[in-house]
C-alpha cells in the first residue's frame, strides 16, 4: 500500500525547485547546473520510494537492530547545515555557493524523515 507523508511532498517540492532553478538560470556553470539536475532527479526518486512501505519498514528495522544509531541522523543534519553555512559564507554569499548548498537539502530531508520515523516508533512503544 502506498502512503503519502509530509516528507513525500517535501521531496517533490525540493525536486521542483531545483529543476526550476536549473532551467531558470541557463547561464549557470555547467557543473552546477548538472548538480542541480542530478539532485532534482534524486529528490524525485526518493519521493517515489518514500511512498512504499518498505522505506519505512527498512528504517524501523535498522533502528531496532542498532539502537545506538539514534544520534547519527542528528549528527548528519547538524554537520550538513554547518557545512552549508560555512561554504556559502566563505564564498561571500555568491549565488553559485547558495545554489550548491541548496542542492544538499535532500540529505537533510532524508535524515529528518528518519528522525520522525524513530519518534513514531518510540511513541508506539
Which are the contacts of 107, defined by CB distance < 8 A and separation ≥ 6?
Answer: 76, 77, 80
Distance of CA 99 to the CA centre of its chain: 14
Which range marks the domain in which residue 79 is found?
6-124
How far is 114 from 62, CA to CA, in rounded Å?
10
How far is 88 from 96, CA to CA, in rounded Å?
9
Domain-embedded: residue 32: yes
Distance of CA 117 to the CA centre of its chain: 15
- Prediction pTM value: 0.86
How far is 120 from 125, CA to CA, in rounded Å?
9
Looking at residues 34-41, what average pLDDT do you find? 94
- Minimal CA–CA distance to 110: which of 38, 49, 66, 63? 49
Structural domain total, the chain: 1
Domain-embedded: residue 76: yes
**DSSP calls for 55-85:** HHHHHHHHHHH-GGGGSHHHHHHHHHHHHHH
Domain-embedded: residue 1: no
- Quote the pLDDT of residue 39: 95
Domain-embedded: residue 37: yes
State pLDDT tens for residues 47-93: 999 998 888 888 888 777 766 567 888 999 999 999 999 999 999 88
Domain-embedded: residue 19: yes
Q: How confident is the model at residue 37 (pLDDT cuts 50, 70, 90)?
A: very high
- For the record, the C-alpha cell of 77 comes out as 543534519
Amino acid at each position: 500500500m502506498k502512503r503519502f507523508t509530509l516528507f513525500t511532498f517535501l521531496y517533490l517540492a525540493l525536486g521542483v525547485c531545483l529543476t526550476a532553478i536549473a532551467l531558470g538560470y541557463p547561464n549557470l556553470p555547467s557543473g552546477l547546473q548538472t548538480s542541480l539536475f542530478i539532485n532534482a532527479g534524486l529528490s524525485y526518486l526518493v519521493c517515489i520510494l518514500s511512498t512504499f512501505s518498505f522505506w519505512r519498514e527498512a528504517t524501523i528495522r535498522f533502528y531496532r537492530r542498532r539502537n545506538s544509531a539514534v544520534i547519527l541522523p542528528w549528527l548528519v543534519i547538524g554537520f550538513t547545515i554547518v557545512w552549508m553555512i560555512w561554504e556559502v559564507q566563505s564564498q561571500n554569499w555568491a549565488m553559485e555557493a547558495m545554489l550548491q548548498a541548496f542542492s544538499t537539502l535532500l540529505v537533510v530531508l532524508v535524515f529528518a524523515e528518519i528522525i520522525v520515523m524513530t519518534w513514531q516508533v518510540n511513541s508506539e512503544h
